[in-house]
Structure 1
Amino acid sequence: MPTSAHEGLIHLMVVAAASDSAMSQSEWKRVEGLVGRMPVFEAFDSARLAEVANNCVEKVNGAPGLDGAINDALAAIPAKLQDTAYALAVEITALDLHLSQEELRFLEMLRDRIEVDRLTTAAIETAARARYRRMPG
């Protein structure tokens, strides 16, 4: 189980990035960027990021598996930060504006487990799509 809310948030971002079976370099850079600039991570020692991410991968690949990793991460995150947790996961999956079936399934699993209403999760998803759009042409 992650020992802090920071670790829980990072675990969910790592699972989101790896949900399509591989974490791309751009996804990892996005995780690093979010940890480096988001106010929720102000007290987190970013030098520990790789260690926390590796712990998550070990958990997903080990006995607890994906469900256990998600449950453990959510158990470490206070209820008032569950919308933030969902927003961070969406940020990672929306990076390329194409969500694979695995990424969609992960977000669905996460939505089912968090205490955030459907309108809020829809708004988070819409905002992420808007942020990552590119100019046509």
Structure 2
Amino acid sequence: MTPQLQPVEALIFAMVTAAAVDRRITEVELSRIGSLISELPAFRDLEKDWLANEAQDCGRLLAKPDGVRRVLDLITAALPRHLRETAYVLATEVTISDLAVKDEETEFLSLLAQTLELDQLVCAALQRAARARHCTV
């Protein structure tokens, strides 16, 4: 039986999957996930060790055959429409945070956008905004 996620868990799964899809989560990506969780109102009520547990659960699902598809389905089922762009922008923030977006990450973002039925222009704007926030001087 496949577990169901709460919306806040789905947001975390989107970020963790974006970081893990290339089979390597960098310290920068982990740090960005942690800072997003500490900064954003959606995550206000989480306990400190909660992220580690969610990341492990997500990793176990990703390791299974067709794991990315399963995670995408869980994310979609858990998120109300008004949080779908939030999931996308959080995943984008994580992929861009190490300033080296890999092909696997780009493919995941595309799959996430399709699965969540997001407008391509909105996704392009969210990606551009995330890139702008991570530019170096």
Is 1:13 equivalent to 2:8 in the alignment? Answer: no
What's the % identity of the aligned pairs?
Answer: 35
2-side partners of 1:60 and 1:17: how far apart? Answer: 12
| Separation (CA, whole Å) in 2 of partners of 1:52 and 1:97 | 25
Count of matched residue pairs: 135
What is the Cα-based RMSD across aligned positions, in Å?
1.3
Conserved? CA contact 1:111–1:121, under 8 Å: yes
- Structure 2 equivalent of residue 49 of structure 1: 51
Q: Secondary structure at the residue paired with 1:14?
A: helix
TM-score, scaled relative to structure 1: 0.92
User: Partners in 1 of 2:14 and 2:76 — Cα distance?
Assistant: 8
Q: Distance in 2 between matches of 1:116 and 1:42?
A: 26
Q: Are the equivalent residues in 1 in contact too, given 2:5–2:74 (CA < 8 A)?
A: no
Q: Which residue of 1 aligns with 2:60?
A: 58
Q: Counterpart amino acid of 1:91? A: E
Contact 1:36 1:46 in 2 (8 A): no
Q: Give the Cα–Cα distance (whole angstroms) in 1 for the partners of residues 21 and 9 of structure 2.
A: 18
Query: Which residue number in structure 1 is paired with residue 135 of structure 2?
Result: 133
* Mapped pair 1:105 → 2:107: yes
Measure how far apart 1:46 and its partner are: 3.5
Tell me which amino acid in the other structure corresponds to 1:83: E
**Does structure 2 conserve the Cα–Cα contact (< 8 Å) formed by 1:19 and 1:106?**
yes
CA distance in 2, matches of 1:20, 1:14: 11
Q: 2:24 aligns with which of 22, 43, 48?
A: 22
SS of 2:101's equivalent in the other structure is coil
Deviation (angstroms), 1:89: 0.2
Among 89, 92, 100, the alignment partner of 2:91 is 89
Q: Which amino acid aligns with 2:106?
A: L
* Correspondence for 1:115: 117
Q: Gaps (5+ residues) in structure 1?
A: none
Task: Indicate the larger mover: 23-32 or 60-69.
Answer: 60-69
- 1:31 is matched with 33
Which amino acid letter does the alignment assign opposite residue 88 of structure 2? Y
Residue segments in structure 2 that go unaligned for 5+ positions in a row = none
